[in-house]
Structure 1
């Protein structure tokens, strides 16, 4: 903990820590399940951050959808260990960059915890990487104003990245590795089981197509993974949430957004090209991104080319064996179904 007014220096990091009374996060009561109560500023039982939620019907539906999707992702991927309860809770380090995604992540987790469906202790963490123009006062003030337990870490990774990476190259890869290493270290120091990131459905799809187009592999961001050392989890509870919903939620909550172009514009990034492609597909056929996201959870190794996942070598005709494969092979692909529907609609 801190002694006096001087923040401790740990392994070259300048860390300012604020621990807030847990009375701000009381145990939930049955009334908490009513969606309308969040916007009631006179309800002192509601965490300060949630009192700012708009009271419109449209926003309540949006908030409810984000809560449901986060609960489903947390449940589907077993993010909370079995046996966790209000008396035996794991601890999560919730990483905030100052963008719409991480603000929304924190608000959703705080509400799930307040409603009694997330038996986890939350510690918000911002890593100030000393990018030019970064406003260091915004997030500490946001945390203090909303009574959020938090850690502020300052580490000049920007100088390292700009020294190692030529100007015409993108900084993202090295910057990400340095950032992740620092967050792992802070999580260990704070006794956390996991670091929690704000990546959403669209981020996951973009990464999938980045790997497909440029990496030669079928892979994306998993909602849950374990680090190389095997001692920490990386969680993405917003894996089912659409970016457009997160943007609407952030706008409605009026979060103090920190611009994401602090490293320079670096136009022409491959990820931006993929993002524009996906957005164009969604405009042309609304709902397409949702279909593609569902596809990531319904793979058929026998219908791909990966010999490590499926034993093609020993696959031989045998009576009574392979019937499921035969049925799958007879099923039309999604493109065929869509084309057929379009042709009939045109007649």
Structure 2
């Protein structure tokens, strides 16, 4: 059996986790595997472990996350990395264990949904505090030539001490001295910047770290409304609408301050070359309002986390991310081809799927079908009695 390797890493060289860590509880499911709470057998330390499977098809996302965690997790707003382990299992398959800091306060998405469930909403200073901490984490990544590329509420976790941590670097990208921009369409559809989406259709399109600024703006709306814009749509249809629609805003902007609305507007500048960087946003009036209040807001956040946990939390909504560099979507999005009225809602949108759908339409004399906002008319080569001769 050949050693299991990524592009630069021999995973067989990592220690077996069984000697150090014991699984005590299931936390949830991530993009590439399950997440568990673990206990260190030697010192009693609690942590979280992301178990990545299947492991025999080593993917660049796993290696990217490992490299970023290893080099950039030494920051108060990035989840701490405790080590990587390799568990051999002939029955169930070999697996990688990424052991991380336990952020047992849940995600900011969970917290805001808890507020809304109680008929309340998160205060603007508290939103500003959370966004400030996320911006500090992003600034650390960007200063080290790394783009997160999947900033959203579920990837901003909280500790019971009121800490705010960026997590999930599986699709993050490291920039080099000769390659300052990226051209891979990747991320979770509702949070994806227009220029990132454009990379799928326009091969010469690129983007830079300011795609994280857009995603943070969508996250700001999520903190106000509980969901990102277009969340009621199929994610593939959302991908058609984001580049075409005007920049989104809060559902009821009049209920929020001019500063909060302006912060969102700045983040969601459609021309990314005119969009502010995260360093610029740290100077925005909405963010600077927390100066001198951060300790108080951290304590307030701790109290709200405690209230939310006592009430049993909320049902987690999962939004799958996509990665089109490989020419297909995340496997969990793939399903059997079905009849649709809008091709943009197909879970696998490629030439074969579109051709098959058009052939089905033609065979049942359905001459009209949408692709997002575009109407396609098929020539039936016969009279279908759809129109009368009357004017």
Is the pair's TM-score, using the shorter chain for normalization, greater than 0.5?
no
Structure ranking higher on relative contact order (CA contacts 8 Å, 6+ apart)? 1
Q: TM-score, normalised to structure 1's length? A: 0.27
Higher fraction of strand: 2
Q: TM-score, normalised to structure 2's length? A: 0.25
